[in-house]
């Protein structure tokens, strides 16, 4: 949503996946929605400028527990997609279930299972926070998907609204 947006970048070179970076963009719920969305936009912009990904992946909207959550998620996704468009980056979308299936082998996997598999697949020392882990998982899913088809060389990043993957 608009409170914490995770991101992650994964590089794919000759079949090897390399963790480039991950993190979380936290916003203060006391700020207005426009201020929070601007913080997300500026943060994603900085990550794109620093790491120059080849694509951006965002999670498809799922049916949230309430309409307000879905709307907030939509706002954060829109900001991530706009930022990608302003950098002329293609945007790809995958459902949370497809991402979990690609990472864990089970579409209803828990966040903890996704975190552990992302840590193992990317051979990273510290367990990524859940939002960053979701973003890295989306990047890995995208790379696997495109290896099988179009041959896109991928650097991916993830935000949970959001290969840069913002994960909202």
Distance between CA atoms of residues 45 and 18, nearest Å: 21
The answer to whether residue 167 scores a pLDDT higher than 70 is no
Angle at 133 between CA 44 and CA 96, to 5 degrees: 90
44 CB-near residues (< 8 Å, 6+ apart): 5, 7, 25, 79, 80, 83, 159, 162, 164, 166
Res 61: pLDDT: 80
Higher pLDDT, 151 or 53: 53
Q: How long, in residues, is the chain?
A: 168
**Domain count for the chain:** 1
The top-scoring range by mean pLDDT among 58-62, 67-71, 119-123, 163-167 is 119-123
Q: How confident is the model at residue 45 (pLDDT cuts 50, 70, 90)?
A: very high
**pLDDT tens-digit map of 84-115:** 999 999 999 999 999 999 999 999 999 999 99
Q: What is the mean pLDDT of residues 135-152?
A: 79
Distances (CA, A) of 153 to 50, 104, 143, 147, 156: 18, 23, 8, 8, 9
Report the CATH number at residue 47: 3.30.420.10
Range of the domain at 112: 4-167
The alpha-carbon radius of gyration of the chain (Å, integer) is: 14
Provide the pLDDT for residue 16: 87
Nearest Cα neighbor of 157 from 21, 30, 18 is: 21
- The pLDDT score that the predictor gives to residue 66 is 77
pTM comes to: 0.86
């Amino acid at each position: 949503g608009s409170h914490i947006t995770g991101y992650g970048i994964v590089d794919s070179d000759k079949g090897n996946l390399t963790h480039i970076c991950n993190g979380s963009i936290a916003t203060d719920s006391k700020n207005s929605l426009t201020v929070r969305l601007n913080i997300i936009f500026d943060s994603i912009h900085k990550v794109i400028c620093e790491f120059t990904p080849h694509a951006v992946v965002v999670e498809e909207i799922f049916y949230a527990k309430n309409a307000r959550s879905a709307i907030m998620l939509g706002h954060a996704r829109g900001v991530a997609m706009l930022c990608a468009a302003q950098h002329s980056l293609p945007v790809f979308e995958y459902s949370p279930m497809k991402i979990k299936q690609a990472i864990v082998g089970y579409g209803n996997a828990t966040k903890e299972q996704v975190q552990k598999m992302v840590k193992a697949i990317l051979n990273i020392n510290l367990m990524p926070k859940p939002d960053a882990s979701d973003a890295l998982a989306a990047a890995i899913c995208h790379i696997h998907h495109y290896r099988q088809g179009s041959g896109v060389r991928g650097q991916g990043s993830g935000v949970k609204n959001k290969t840069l993957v913002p994960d909202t």
